[in-house]
A and B are shown apart, each in its own frame.
Chain A
Amino acid sequence: MMDLIIDIALNALYVLLAVAYGLLLLGIARKINARVHNRVGPPVYQNFIDVGKLLAKKTNIRHNWIFDLAPLFGLAGALLTLLYIPMGGYRLLSGDGDLILLLYIMVIPSLGMALGSGASANPNAGVGVMRALTLMLAYEMPFLLTLLSLMIFYNTTSLSVLLCKQQGFRWAIFVLPLSALAADMALQGMMMKKPFDIPIAPHEIGSGPMVEFGGKYLGMLMLFGAAFAVVETSLFVDLFLGGGVILNPSQYGIIAYMVNYFVWMLLVLVVWVIAVFINAVFPRFRIEQAFKFYWKWPTVIAALGLAQAYVMSVILGVVP
């Protein structure tokens, strides 16, 4: 019983820290963006203030009960997704659900947001969601191929097993560099950073799906965005960079967890900053250009990565 309570408390702590870290990441992104533009930029804690302000707004509007599903499913789905992602070697619930489950859980918040924004009856929202879904079909092609190459190479679909097999710097990025490259390209679209931010283009379609959300609705969606910044970068870190596990917890105990957590934070930051720098200097693709791009180069690279994994695993019989 005591173990269970400690377990739940630890999970909650990790999720809370992840959301906070996500907000910090968003702040860092704004700061970097500003520096690239030769500006001073907001303080890094700016997004905490923004969320606080939005949640403290005096009035909020809603259109109907389906509109409420957006923040509810958005935040609940984001927290749930965080629970299934190992952070710094701590597996949370990822032992009880594998990558396929994670992939489908990751859809829940976006689906809730699509429902809510669709219910606002604003045509911009419909167009925005259409673009987001088309973009999703685009980037999922290379991303699923890279996932498959990992699953085939490591012969597992479980993230926690994947982490175990990558321990001791046997990171997948060294073994399957092509897949890692394709996954990073897909990540850019998954995070809707430029050049793939057409679904939320503020000047064309009034920030797309978010057009009608304000106050606490927008605040909760911002928390969802923060959580997903961590989810997506952390997914890449867990898949290709060994999840930041450099010390074996069974050997070093609690110190290992803390060190691993900091390494994980560092790696997440590195992946995030790469995406942010690309974001800072690019204009945006139109949606059909984005689609063509994703089904061309990243898919070819990912297919090559898959071929490599296939040859190594099935024909050469390499067991990692």
Chain B
Amino acid sequence: MDLQTLFGIFIVLPVLGAFLSYSLGKRASIVATAFSAVPLIFTYLRMGDWSQYTFTALGINMSFELNPLNWFFILMTSLTSFSALLFSISSVKERQNGFASLMLFAVAGANGVLLARDFLSLFVFWEIMSWSIFLLVMRASGESARIYMIFGAISAYFILFGIGIVYHYTGSFLYSAVGGVPAYAWKYLLPIFIVGFGVKMAMMPLHIWAPHAYSSEQSFVAYLSGGLSKLGAYGIFLTFYSFATVGVLAGFGTFRTVTIPGYALALVGAFTAFIGTMLAIFQDDLRKLLAYSSIAQLGYVLVGFGLGTPLAVGGALFHAFNHALFKAVLFLGSAAVIYRTGEYRISELGGIAYRMPFTFMAVLISIFALAGIPITSGFISKWMIYEAAISLKFVIVTPLMLIASVGAFLYSFRILYGVFLGQLHRRHEHIKELPPHMLAAMYILIVPMMVFAVAPGLIFDWINSILVYYGMNGLTYTTFSYQSSVGGANMLVFFVAFMAAFMVAMGLFMMKKARTVDQYDNYLGGEVRTDVELHAAHNFYKPLREVWEPLLKYSTERFYTRVARFFAGGFEEIKKVYTGNPQDYAAYAAMAFIVFFLIGWWLL
């Protein structure tokens, strides 16, 4: 494979598709789906075809590469983009208005970010992706888009700032030159890159754009949460294990074999997981619930990257992959519900599963993955991160993660009960199952989850090649079982035992027939069928909310709002500086000169 093919398939083709589909109106998504399928198939076929290209354009060295890491991430993003576009064929039909072309621009941007081996192209493609997201969010709400823009700008500035520092020390934009950055500069560089990439990943204090942006068009959000948020994970992985190598990180000191930056990242990740989960429990808006859940799940990925043992990093990569799949399915499920009912408040829905069983099945399986039920691969990745933390004997990170995963049951049941189970409202009695291509979009993502649950060895092969590529030890595994230093599990045994137990239960169950009754034939003290809606999903976790109420008043969003108001007030004050008197300006100039002089003197 040469550079032209790589560039052509992953970047030029989506851009071409974007321009083509823009002129097609309603049928744009069909074409866009086809255009996004090509990179997906190509990615899958080109596994192992690693290659690197460096060339000089406009006097700047630029570089692109296909390696196990970005191959893995391209697979994730193109899977989710393909299924999101496939889904959008029907769901955004009438409101097309450039949706598909913007999606393809985002795909091109994401592919560019992943393939880039130099900071300049990274930044350019990062901005392409970021602006397409901004425009896509803007379709739903200007306010959300503004909030996203502020954080996107913070992210971009931090990355740009980091690139500037790197260029200052090395005089080159290539990744391979980062080794030239002196160790003391990493004190600034590391937090800068973590904040820059962490924004995309919705890391805890920088997460508040996510619930807003994730409330826009849901089939796009499936790609945003499933695919694009992984670019943040990718960036943090690169920062930790490619730019700053373990030697640099260890230079900050270590805490029981884990580097201090890594430990800090793990702590941030654990708190992100915990707080994100607790906030997700109390959301009544389906989209916001999934958004907070997304924040929480990426917290686990941060923990994995922070801990830095092969098991943890492998678990984090696996969890990123799982999250891409199950969160995309969940957002597509949410899109499906909104597409059929036009309603996104959980308390207003209910009983959708009886009308849309296949959608329910897909959502149920991805909720299994989300909650970590061992029937899906979601369990294995969580298991790896837990085991890594336990074997390191971390007593703050581990309980936070574990209790967050218990909290995940709470909010996933809120989705299951509030939206899909319970009483079917009269106004939703007529709704129908989704058309086949939309179901296909969801089930494409379900299949890998099930396959990797039985045979995790298949994906461990990929993860192992990434770990080895970045100079870490490989994992211990066979096709069906995996091990850590403290424990292990065999999924084949598990599945066989599960099937056997299920057969026993099925045998007992089949002995007697059962009569199906109407949903209104329910025991309510002898009452039946009234006009009162009896779906008990409103304010579902009220008792828990009452317990948490004193803590819930501390909100990051409110903090930011206060900061914003403070600055808005501050600028009012600054305006008064412009007095219009030349003598004042002269005094300012003199003061500024003295300040700069002093700073410069101190620096030199």
User: Which of these binds chain A: B13-21, B154-162, B329-337, B387-395?
Assistant: B387-395
Scan A207-246; emit 1 where CB is below 8 A from any B CB, else 0.
0000110011100100100000000000000000000000
**Alpha-carbon gap, A108 to B502, bound state (A):** 12
Contact B351 A121 (CB under 8 A): yes
Closest approach, in angstroms, between the C-beta of A84 and any C-beta of chain B?
Answer: 8
B374 to A, closest residue via Cβ: A104
Q: Which residues of B contact A62 (CB under 8 A)?
A: 514-517
User: Which of these binds chain A: B38-46, B429-437, B503-511?
Assistant: B503-511
Contact A66 B353 (CB under 8 A): yes
B47 is an interface residue with CB less than 8 A from chain A: no
Scan B364-400; emit 1 where CB is below 8 A from any A CB, else 0.
1000000111110001000100110011010100110
Scan A45-66; emit 1 where CB is below 8 A from any B CB, else 0.
0000000000101011111111
A306 is an interface residue with CB less than 8 A from chain B: yes
Contact A310 B393 (CB under 8 A): yes
B326 is an interface residue with CB less than 8 A from chain A: no
**Contact A61 to B517, CB < 8 A, known contacts A148-B402, A156-B487:** yes
Q: Which of chain A's residues 62-119 have a Cβ closer than 8 Å to chain B?
A: 62-66, 68, 71-77, 79-80, 83, 93, 96-101, 104-105, 107-108, 111, 114-115, 118-119
Contact B490 A96 (CB under 8 A): yes
A59 to B, closest residue via Cβ: B515
Contact B497 A93 (CB under 8 A): yes
User: Which of these binds chain A: B141-149, B181-189, B197-205, B538-546?
Assistant: B538-546
Contact A126 B417 (CB under 8 A): yes
**Alpha-carbon gap, A212 to B513, bound state (A):** 16
A214 to B, closest residue via Cβ: B523
Contact A72 B544 (CB under 8 A): no
Q: Which residues of A contact B379 (CB under 8 A)?
A: 101, 104
Contact A144 B403 (CB under 8 A): yes
Q: Which residues of B contact A320 (CB under 8 A)?
A: none
Contact B416 A157 (CB under 8 A): no
Q: Which of chain A's residues 140-189 have a Cβ closer than 8 Å to chain B?
A: 140-141, 144-145, 148, 151-152, 155-158, 161
Closest approach, in angstroms, between the C-beta of B495 and any C-beta of chain A?
Answer: 10
Contact A120 B522 (CB under 8 A): yes
Q: Which residues of A contact B535 (CB under 8 A)?
A: 121, 123, 126
Contact A133 B422 (CB under 8 A): no
B493 is an interface residue with CB less than 8 A from chain A: yes
Closest approach, in angstroms, between the C-beta of B541 and any C-beta of chain A?
Answer: 6
A to B contact number (C-beta, < 8 Å): 238
Closest approach, in angstroms, between the C-beta of A14 and any C-beta of chain B?
Answer: 13
Q: Which residues of B contact A212 (CB under 8 A)?
A: 522-523
**Contact A220 to B508, CB < 8 A, known contacts A79-B501, A133-B413:** yes
A287 is an interface residue with CB less than 8 A from chain B: yes
If over half of A's interface residues share one DSSP class (helix, strand or loop), that class is named, otherwise mixed; here it is helix
Q: Which residues of B contact A107 (CB under 8 A)?
A: 371, 373, 409
Centre residue among B501, B517, B535 by max chain A CB count within 10 A: B501
**Alpha-carbon gap, A79 to B521, bound state (A):** 32
**Contact A216 to B514, CB < 8 A, known contacts A72-B509, A292-B547:** yes
Q: Which residues of A contact B490 (CB under 8 A)?
A: 96-97
Q: Which residues of A contact B497 (CB under 8 A)?
A: 80, 83, 93
Contact A96 B481 (CB under 8 A): yes
Contact A130 B540 (CB under 8 A): yes
Q: Which residues of B contact A152 (CB under 8 A)?
A: 390, 393, 395
**Alpha-carbon gap, A105 to B541, bound state (A):** 24
**Alpha-carbon gap, A126 to B519, bound state (A):** 14
Closest approach, in angstroms, between the C-beta of B348 and any C-beta of chain A?
Answer: 15
Closest approach, in angstroms, between the C-beta of B525 and any C-beta of chain A?
Answer: 8
Contact A137 B504 (CB under 8 A): no
Which of B413, B489, B521 has a CB less than 8 Å from the CB of A114? B413
Q: Which residues of B contact A80 (CB under 8 A)?
A: 497-498, 501
Closest approach, in angstroms, between the C-beta of A137 and any C-beta of chain B?
Answer: 5
B354 is an interface residue with CB less than 8 A from chain A: yes
Contact A291 B547 (CB under 8 A): yes
Q: Which residues of B contact A100 (CB under 8 A)?
A: 383, 386-387, 487, 489
Q: Which residues of B contact A99 (CB under 8 A)?
A: 487
A314 is an interface residue with CB less than 8 A from chain B: yes
Q: Which residues of B contact A123 (CB under 8 A)?
A: 422-423, 524, 534-536
Q: Which residues of A contact B540 (CB under 8 A)?
A: 126, 130
Contact A64 B354 (CB under 8 A): yes
Contact B519 A63 (CB under 8 A): yes
Contact A131 B543 (CB under 8 A): yes
Closest approach, in angstroms, between the C-beta of B282 and any C-beta of chain A?
Answer: 12
**Alpha-carbon gap, A123 to B393, bound state (A):** 44
Q: Which residues of A contact B353 (CB under 8 A)?
A: 66, 119
**Alpha-carbon gap, A134 to B393, bound state (A):** 28
A248 is an interface residue with CB less than 8 A from chain B: no
Q: Which residues of A contact B501 (CB under 8 A)?
A: 75-77, 79-80, 83
B424 is an interface residue with CB less than 8 A from chain A: yes
Q: Which residues of B contact A97 (CB under 8 A)?
A: 489-490, 493-494
B interface residues with partner A (beta carbon < 8 Å): 256, 351, 353-354, 357, 360, 364, 371-375, 379, 383, 386-387, 390-391, 393, 395, 398-399, 402-403, 406-407, 409-410, 413, 416-417, 421-424, 481, 484, 486-490, 493-494, 497-498, 501-502, 504-506, 508-509, 511-517, 519-524, 534-537, 540-541, 543-544, 546-547
Which 8 A-B pairs rank lowest in CB-CB distance, beginning with the nearest? A98-B487, A157-B487, A118-B421, A75-B505, A79-B501, A126-B536, A123-B536, A96-B490
- Sample of 17 A–B contacts (CB below 8 Å): A55-B508, A63-B517, A80-B501, A97-B493, A100-B387, A101-B374, A115-B416, A121-B421, A122-B534, A123-B524, A133-B410, A145-B399, A148-B398, A151-B486, A155-B486, A291-B544, A310-B395
Given contacts A55-B508, A71-B505, A96-B489, 8 further A-B contacts (CB under 8 A): A64-B519, A72-B505, A80-B497, A97-B490, A136-B409, A157-B487, A220-B509, A306-B395
A interface residues with partner B (beta carbon < 8 Å): 55, 57, 59-66, 68, 71-77, 79-80, 83, 93, 96-101, 104-105, 107-108, 111, 114-115, 118-124, 126-127, 129-131, 133-134, 136-137, 140-141, 144-145, 148, 151-152, 155-158, 161, 206, 211-212, 215-217, 220, 223, 286-288, 291-292, 306-307, 310, 313-314
